[in-house]
């Protein structure tokens, strides 16, 4: 392109900002659609499934500590007690 620098900048502003807004607007609708679909299809199975599915996700944060650390912690706690 042989535009001037200003033209290039204006183009970048126009098309860049436009893309950002269009993309995030589409994402708003996609997210709303996704949440609606997910919550429509999971509630049916929710009553039974919720407890079975919740744990793996809820269990996430404790699981990020590897098991041998947890066992080491328990040992440390036990050791600490005996003092």
Residue 66, by phi and psi: left (phi above 0), alpha (psi -120 to 50) or beta?
beta
Least distance in angstroms from the C-beta of 70 to a copy of itself:
6
Which one of a copy of itself, another protein, none is in contact with 76 (Cβ closer than 5 to 8 A by kind)?
a copy of itself
Binding of another protein at residue 21 (CB under 8 A)? yes
Least distance in angstroms from the C-beta of 60 to another protein:
5
Q: Largest alpha-carbon pair distance within the chain?
A: 80
Which residue, 30 or 76, has its beta carbon nearer to another protein? Answer: 30
Tally DSSP H helices, then E strands, for the chain. Answer: 3, 0
């Amino acid at each position: 392109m042989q535009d001037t620098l200003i033209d290039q900048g204006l183009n970048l502003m126009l098309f860049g900002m436009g893309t950002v807004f269009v993309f995030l607007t589409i994402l708003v609708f996609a997210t709303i659609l996704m949440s609606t679909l997910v919550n429509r299809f999971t509630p049916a199975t929710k009553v039974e499934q919720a407890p079975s599915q919740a744990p793996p996700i809820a269990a996430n944060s404790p699981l990020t500590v590897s098991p041998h650390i947890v066992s080491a912690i328990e040992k440390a706690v036990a050791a600490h007690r005996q003092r």
